[in-house]
Structure 1
């Protein structure tokens, strides 16, 4: 390659990373809204009615949570197809952001209805209404109760539909950028994943504090303002978004090649299978481990007490500490994991997950009836984060590389759909903790992850034949 070609490739790559950072700024605010909702929804569902919750059982809450995760991750398959066929990724991104904005503000309904119903019905006794109920259900004949739960379902539905358009298309736009080398592409998606976790960190810390101090209603309102900020940035960066909406020439040539047209289905299917298994374990964090932190963990450190949900912030904190230097070294083709195939990274990832849940199982057994120290759960979450940074960005990078450009949004949607299937199964697994106990569930997850990791590491050479 001539010096001019190398310089052109470097200039294209620098431009691609500049666009990546602008897209990541939008993603920070959108993910803040998303994670604020997903972090608090199980706690909101299980909190007593008198404390602003719905008073649901753990099994019911985790059942809805599993379905919500599945919708959040599976509907992007449809959103990606709609964008590829009709809207285009940028317009789909805008429509999705608006739907999520409306949905987040609709989530205020469960907290606003008891206040507003006083103006509608002079006979309505808000305090008596809340005091007389242990749970709130849509099947009730009571109109305020139906409005409360109905606004919950309406808000979650709108957020899920908006997410279906937003989530795959921002990844598809990044996949269209000219990164040049596979190592640079992996580094780019790793940096994007880091910004996702920055939004998650702000959501967990700020949202957890607002919910503990002021209640769930103000916390969900905060999620709505996060989407307002995302929309404002989309307007500021509309020029970059319009430019990124057009696939680059190199990507179009790759998509028109015979390999792109016929040889991508097998490696894509294998990648999506790995992602599904990974999602089953990863989403235990916002579901099972969230409830575990609230009920079985001593949320204090050096005498300072804090909301238990803050322990989950270990995930984005570790990601933000590790990812920038790691992505820089991956971009240079060196550093831990830089030369590992996707299947090799996945095998190492499941080994980390096995260690994390084995540690939690041991901690639960040793604690007995006492509370588990927050540091032990934080350490397990840190190990889960290492697993996530090994497999998550690399799998998404692989999908955007494998799938032809004209199906780019659908490919990203399939990635999130596979995560969604794993998320749905994670809810079913987590719900069994109410019967089996946390320790037993942690042990089963650890053993399963160890077995999956061993199988993946044993099949690395076979997977290499299909480019994984």
Structure 2
């Protein structure tokens, strides 16, 4: 098998942009759901919510997050063995579309039932429905909660097929060099976050203006757009599915199909361990730092107040600013990190994480009881974003490069499962922030990241022997 030519690489990036356009709409739907679910579950019934307590709502949310991260392993294995990436991608998108539309049903049940039963009192509807059980509820309650669970299950199953396979298809594109592959996956990662940014801004507005039902319906239309693009680009997807061109940095072609498990299991296992550790730190942005922004940060800039959660938007904003020029440099094999190995990029990523949490720890120490300026947290999140760009896309790129092409979807599913495990562990750490204090948490995280950085640098030659 020959190395990818310049023309093939141009075609690879053209296909990447089309696949990323599909991903923007799919991520818009995904983040609409993940952003609004807990709010919809805890909102009063009179406001179109479920009236659940926080514990029940967070329990349902946690179960969905776990399913979203773990099921792609099974979905990837099913795709590799039976369905194929392109077919699994279409099936996953259809299941998610049905799921999002099903999630709009609970909004309609009270309205329609009031027309069927003139004595129906919506003000008391679901007032006792504060647990995850619905067997003892009335018929409208069972319809409402049953459609909720059905919708969430369909979305989780669709995600299990869609999420690993779009990464697997991108992994088969003939990028030609490791640097170009990393650039491609970085651009793809940027589009993922772009879809999430639109979802946060648009979904919050639709939910507050029109209700949660229309917001979940909007998520369904996002999947309609994704399916329409998949149909338009079906030839490109099919051709990418059947492509498996790889090259080493030295230009020597390799054939992943010929790799034995002994050659790829060890490096993939090492990458997954690093991804778990990275996820523990990365997901602090949505957990600990979200709480920190709400309780310790002055959400004001130049005399203008704004919602504290807006500070977290520094993550996608920095990504949109940094990724295009960085990806261009990496594709041309120039600039910082273009020729760096995965172990060196990961070490640098943990170094930036250490810097970010050191800044936050120092801010806590210096301000004492006073509030922390918003720019301090925004700067820390910017460094975390740079770390995310160095580690996340490069790790996924490496996994899809190392494994045989007929195991690509399974490998991508394992990557997301490892990241999800890290997110779960990050929640355990964040839960202790109120007890031990933010400064202690920040110091511990910074210290661990320094230790991991030092360890990766010391072991970089060993990592190079196994292709990392």
- C-alpha distance in structure 2 between counterparts of 1:300 and 1:136, whole Å: 36
The normalised TM-score by structure 2 is 0.88
CA distance, structure 2, for counterparts of residue 366 and residue 220 of structure 1: 44
Q: Cα offset for 1:175?
A: 1.1
Question: 1:187-245: CA deviations, max 9, x gaps?
Answer: 11111111112112211222233334444433333222111111111111111112112
1:254 corresponds to 2:242: no
Correspondences of 1:71-150 after superposition (within 5 Å): 71-129=67-125, 136-139=130-133, 141-143=136-138, 144-150=140-146
2:173 aligned partner: 177
Change over 3 Å in CA distance of 1:375–1:60 after alignment to 2: farther
Q: Verify: 1:390 aligned to 2:384, yes or no.
A: no
Does structure 1 residue 239 correspond to structure 2 residue 240?
Answer: no
Alignment of 1:234-313 (within 5 A): 234-248=230-244, 254-257=255-258, 259-294=259-294, 297-313=297-313
Query: Could you list the per-position Cα deviations for residues 75-101 of structure 1 after superposition, in whole angstroms to 9, with x for gaps in the alignment?
Result: 111111111111110010000001111
- Given that 1:255 and 1:261 are in contact with CA atoms closer than 8 Å, whether structure 2 keeps it comes out as no
Residues 226 and 435 (structure 1 numbering): CA distance in 2 closer, same or farther, change over 3 Å?
farther
Q: Secondary structure at 1:339's aligned position in 2?
A: coil
Alpha-carbon offset, residue 61 of structure 1: 5.0
Cα displacement (A) at 1:420: 1.9
Q: Are residues 1:402 and 2:402 paired?
A: yes
Cα distance change of structure 1 residues 189 and 364 upon mapping to structure 2, 3 Å threshold: same
Q: Does the 8 Å CA contact 2:173/2:245 hold for their aligned counterparts?
A: no
SS of 2:255's partner is: helix
| 2:56–2:130 Cα contact (<8 Å) kept | no
Structure 1 gaps, min length 5: none
Q: Show the counterpart of 2:161.
A: 165
- From the superposition, tell whether residues 36 and 287 of structure 1 become closer, same or farther in structure 2 (CA, over 3 Å): farther
CA drift at 1:433:
4.2
Note the alpha carbon deviations across 1:340-372, whole angstroms, 9 max, x for none.
221221122122223323434454566667655
Residues 149 and 366 from structure 1, CA distance in 2 versus in 1: closer, same or farther, beyond 3 angstroms?
A: farther
Q: 1:128 to 1:241 in 2, by over 3 A?
A: same
Asked if the contact 1:175/1:397 (under 8 Å) is kept, the reply is yes
Structure 1 residue 17: Cα displacement:
1.1
Alignment of 1:201 with 2:197, yes or no, is yes
Task: Decide whether the 8 Å contact of 1:99 with 1:158 is kept in 2.
Answer: yes
Please, what is the CA RMSD of the aligned residues? 3.0
- Match among 10, 17, 22 for residue 21 of structure 1: 17
Instruction: Give the whole-Å Cα distance in 1 for the aligned partners of 2:47 and 2:436.
Output: 28
C-alpha distance in structure 2 between counterparts of 1:45 and 1:448, whole Å = 36
SS in 1 for 2:119: coil
Deviation at 1:248, TM superposition (A): 3.7
1:157-196 residue CA offsets vs partner (Å, 9 max, x unmatched):
2211111100111111111111111111111111111111
419 and 233 in structure 1: CA distance in 2 versus 1, 3 angstrom threshold? same
SS in 2 for 1:264: helix
Post-superposition offset of 1:279 = 1.5
Please give the alpha-carbon distance, in whole angstroms, between the structure 1 residues aligned to 2:116 and 2:437: 45
Q: Work out whether residues 76 and 410 of structure 2, in 8 Å CA contact, stay in contact via their aligned partners in 1.
A: yes
Higher mean C-alpha deviation, range 23-32 or range 337-346: 337-346
The DSSP-based 3-state class of the residue aligned with 2:76 is helix
How far residue 268 of structure 1 moved from its aligned partner, in angstroms, is 0.6
Which of 206, 210, 223 is residue 210 of structure 1 equivalent to? 206
How much has 1:416 moved relative to structure 2? Answer: 1.3
- State the Cα distance separating 1:324 from its structure 2 match: 0.7
Deviations 1:299-354 (A, max 9, x none): 44445444444333221111110011101111121211223221221122122223
- 2:354 matched residue in structure 1: 354
For 1:100 and 1:300, locate their aligned partners in 2 and report how far apart those are by CA, in whole Å: 38
Unaligned runs of 5+ in 2: 248-252
1:345 and 1:58, CA in 2 relative to 1: closer, same or farther beyond 3 A? farther
In structure 2, the CA distance between the partners of 1:204 and 1:169, relative to structure 1 (3 Å rule), is same
CA distance in 1, matches of 2:27, 2:124: 37
- Secondary structure (helix, strand or coil) at the match of 2:426 reads helix
